[in-house]
Structures are given as C-alpha cells and as structure tokens.
Amino acid sequence: MNTIAEQYVKLVLAVGQHDADYVDAFYGPAEWKTEAARQKIALAGIDATAARLGGDIAAVRDDGDELAGLRREYLRRQLDALRARVRMLQGTKLTFDEESQALYDAVAPRHPDSYFEDILKEIDRALPGTGPLIDRYDAFRQQFIVPAERLSPVFDRAIAECRGRTLAHVALPADEHFTVEYVKNKPWSGYNWYQGNFRSLIQVNTDLPIYIDRAVDLACHEGYPGHHVYNALLEQHLVRDRGWVEFTIYPLFSPQSLIAEGTANYGIEVAFPGAERLAFERDVLFPLAGLDSSQADAYARVRTLTDRLAYAGNEAARRYVNGEIDRAAAAAWLSRYAMSSPKAAEQRTHFFDTYRSYVINYNLGKDLVKQFVESRGGAGTARRWEEFARLLASPRLPSGLRN
Ligand SMILES: [Zn+2]
C-alpha cells in the first residue's frame, strides 16, 4: 500500500500542475513537487496511471486492522475523485449533483423555496420594526459588527478559548501552532493553509464587515478543533505514527473536503455545547469588541434561525452551476433566501465560480458528521469529544459516515 500511496501523492501533484486550486496542502518530500513541475504529465497520462493504481488497490488484501481497511477504501475513493476532476479539466461538464457525488462522495438534499420561506417568516417575527425583512435584518446586525481595531484582540481571545476547550479533551502535538493574517480580495471569508510540522497559516478576509459571531466560528472552524487540529492529528497519527504518506497531501476537490469542512463546522458545537457559546460571547467577546452585551441573547436567537438557512446556498449554487440562472439571479436568490447583503451575495457567487459544488461540504458535511458522532454515543460532552477526535484522526469517507 505504501508504494501505491506514494504514486497517489505524485498523481495529485501532477493534477496540481493543471489546476492551481487542487493541491491545498503538501508537506511531503519537496523534490516530488519539483519533479511534478518538471514532468508536467498530460491529463490523459494522469488518468491512465490513476486507473492502474485503482486496480492495484483492489488487488491488495486486507490485513485485518480496521484503520488499514479504511485507508484502502479511502485511497481508492480519493483516486476516483481525482479521475473525475481530471475529466472536468479535460472539458467534461457535470451537473451540480453529479459533480458533488464524484468529487465529495455525497449529494445534498434539495429544498423547495417554501422550506426557506417558512424560516424567513419566523425570522420576520423575531426582528423588530417594519419594512422589508432584509433591511430590518441588516439594521439589526449593524450593532454586532466588530470595529476594525478590535478585530485582532477579539480573534485572539476566541482562539485562546477554543484552544483551551480542545486541549481539555484532545491530546495535541506539543509544538502545534498557527499564525493569523488579515487579507483582502478573496472569494472566501477565512482559510487555513496547513504547512506541515503541526503549523497552519490562517487568513481572515476583511473585505466585508465582520460580525461578532464570526470570532467563535472562525476560531473553531479554521483553528480548534477545526482544520488546524484535523490536519495536525492526521499528521501525527497517520503520517508520523504509521508512515502513511498519502496524508501529506490534501487535494481540495476530493471526499476529504467534506470531512474537513463538516468536522470544522460541527466542531463549533462540540467546543461550545448548549448555551456555553452565548455565555462566552456575551460575557467575554462583546465587552472586548466594545459591543452592547445586553443584545447578545437577541442576536443568538436570530442566529439560531438564520443558521437554518444554511442549505439555501446549495440551491443557489446548484442552479447557477447548472446554468439555470446567471450571476445576478444567483445573487438575488441569496439575498432573498440566505439573507445575504448584496456585497456578501456577490462574493458568494465568485466562490461558486471557483468551488462549485464544494458548498455542500459545509452544511451537508456538518450534518453527516454530527449524525455520525452522535449516533456512536457521542451525546454527552466527554463521549462526543472522544468520537469527534477519533473521526479527526482516521481516514473515513463521507459515504462511510452514514453507517
Ligand atoms: Zn473550512
């Protein structure tokens, strides 16, 4: 398997020569990357090698260890996704659902407009004032914007809190660490660039106003117990302890992304069960940001409702990617059903351009991870952390979460 795994890593690097977004992280031997750039294998050649490797994996016999079995199945499926991405680069057009199945091993459920209409009615009742819902929502949210000069201390405090909560339940490598940078002009709101050796670079996009709830969201999602912890645990348990080189590379358009985004989003409620998030935001972050703590409860109530609109982005992306609506219509749809500001909706359509069906990894990923962890007895805090950490350190596929 190690020989196959090494060839897989080299294939992912080869695809990266044709697709600049494909290799999200790589911390294996640097000369493999140089060699991929030198060879610049054609897409047809990559596909032929991937097909052969798939056959090689099928011929490997299981050695009984559960993790080894997961590894084999995972590598096989990652290779299938690589071949799908290669076909896309060769010009094959897939529908949104075909693409998400091929790349992320999952298809998001569909929701009719009426599903979102019902949630919007509840939000309408929860917000003060009269006039169009989107205007009242926007006016209401104004009071929760973190002033630019407070961003850094607020994020630092949120990160420290998330780290402490994670360390209480998960053993992390002693020298794990990340740095935070504030950037502009990106299609995403935050990004974790894993660099190996238990290090990440986390970038926060400040193009749009940053609301106070983004502090906990980003600190958990990008940092603890999200992407940074996920990558560090894979490196420690699979790369270093077991010598599984395939985990030194992360192809973005692959089933691994559903696990990565799903665990990063579910990790927020693992770190802050029940009312603990509200208490922390109200008592610590609101004062630090200079915001009115007496409004924290009201904000949390509205957010609980708007969180239920999470799947709205999939509907907009599906129609946009399938060519049923154009950019303006997608942005209008997002403003209406996801209550995005015009600027945020516009930013989101650019995210769709680059990442397409990737959007399902956030919401469907979270729901699949939540159901998986909690169905394994992870309802109480300690058991939930245990199952969650086990998932973070194992090669499990999205379709394997449904068991
Ligand atoms: Zn993410």
Q: How far is the CA of 223 from the centre of ligand 1 (A)?
A: 10
Q: How far is the CA of 288 from the centre of ligand 1 (A)?
A: 25
8 A C-beta contact, residue 259 and residue 396? yes
Give percent of the chain with pLDDT exceeding 70: 99
Q: How far is the CA of 60 from the centre of ligand 1 (A)?
A: 33
Rounded to an integer, what distance in angstroms lies between the CA atom of residue 207 and that of residue 198?
A: 29
- Using N-to-C axis directions, what is the helix angle for 113-126 and 296-307, rounded to 10°? 170
Pairing of β 199-205 and β 177-183: parallel
pLDDT tens digits, 250-284: 999 999 999 999 999 999 999 999 899 999 999 99
Q: How far is the CA of 392 from the centre of ligand 1 (A)?
A: 14
Rounded to an integer, what distance in angstroms lies between the CA atom of residue 21 and that of residue 142?
A: 34
Q: How far is the CA of 227 from the centre of ligand 1 (A)?
A: 7
Q: How far is the CA of 207 from the centre of ligand 1 (A)?
A: 18
Q: What is the mean pLDDT of residues 123-138?
A: 91
Q: How far is the CA of 104 from the centre of ligand 1 (A)?
A: 14
Q: Which H, E and C letters describe the chain, residue by residue? A: CHHHHHHHHHHHHHHHCCCCCCEEEECCCHHHHHHHHHHCCCHHHHHHHHHHHHHHHHHCCCCCCHHHHHHHHHHHHHHHHHHHHHHHHCCCCCCHHHHHHHHHCCCCCCCCHHHHHHHHHHHHHHCCCCCCHHHHHHHHHHCCECCHHHHHHHHHHHHHHHHHHHHCCCCCCCCCEEEEEEECCCCCCEEEEEEECCEEEEEEECCCCCECHHHHHHHHHHHCCCHHHHHHHHHHHHHHCCCCHHHHEEECCCHHHHHHHHHHHHHHHHHCCCCHHHHHHHHHHHHHHCCCHHHHHHHHHHHHHHHCCCCHHHHHHHHHHCCCCCHHHHHHHHHHHCCCCHHHHHHHHHHHHHHHHHHHHHHHHHHHHHHHHHHCCCCCHHHHHHHHHHHHCCCCCHHHHHC
Q: How far is the CA of 261 from the centre of ligand 1 (A)?
A: 5
As a residue count, the chain comes to 403
Q: How far is the CA of 122 from the centre of ligand 1 (A)?
A: 29
| pTM metric for this prediction | 0.95
Q: How far is the CA of 132 from the centre of ligand 1 (A)?
A: 32
* Structure token digits, residue 68: 């080894």
8 A C-beta contact, residue 312 and residue 291? no
Q: How far is the CA of 8 from the centre of ligand 1 (A)?
A: 24
pLDDT tens digits, 11-51: 999 999 999 999 999 999 999 999 999 999 999 999 999 99
Q: How far is the CA of 202 from the centre of ligand 1 (A)?
A: 10
Q: How far is the CA of 401 from the centre of ligand 1 (A)?
A: 19
In this predicted structure, what is the pLDDT of residue 351?
Answer: 92
Q: How far is the CA of 191 from the centre of ligand 1 (A)?
A: 6
Of 256, 252, 259, 198, nearest to 223 by C-alpha is 198
Q: How far is the CA of 292 from the centre of ligand 1 (A)?
A: 29
* Structure token digits, residue 90: 């060769």
Q: How far is the CA of 63 from the centre of ligand 1 (A)?
A: 34
Neighbours of ion ligand 1 (CB under 5 A): 261, 264
Q: What is the mean pLDDT of residues 316-331?
A: 97
pLDDT tens digits, 242-252: 999 999 999 99
Give percent of the chain with pLDDT exceeding 90: 90
> What is the separation of C-alpha 158 from the centre of its chain, rounded to a whole number of angstroms?
19
In this predicted structure, what is the pLDDT of residue 208?
Answer: 87
Q: How far is the CA of 238 from the centre of ligand 1 (A)?
A: 21
Q: Which band of pLDDT confidence, cut at 50, 70 and 90, is reported for residue 378?
A: low
Q: How far is the CA of 221 from the centre of ligand 1 (A)?
A: 6
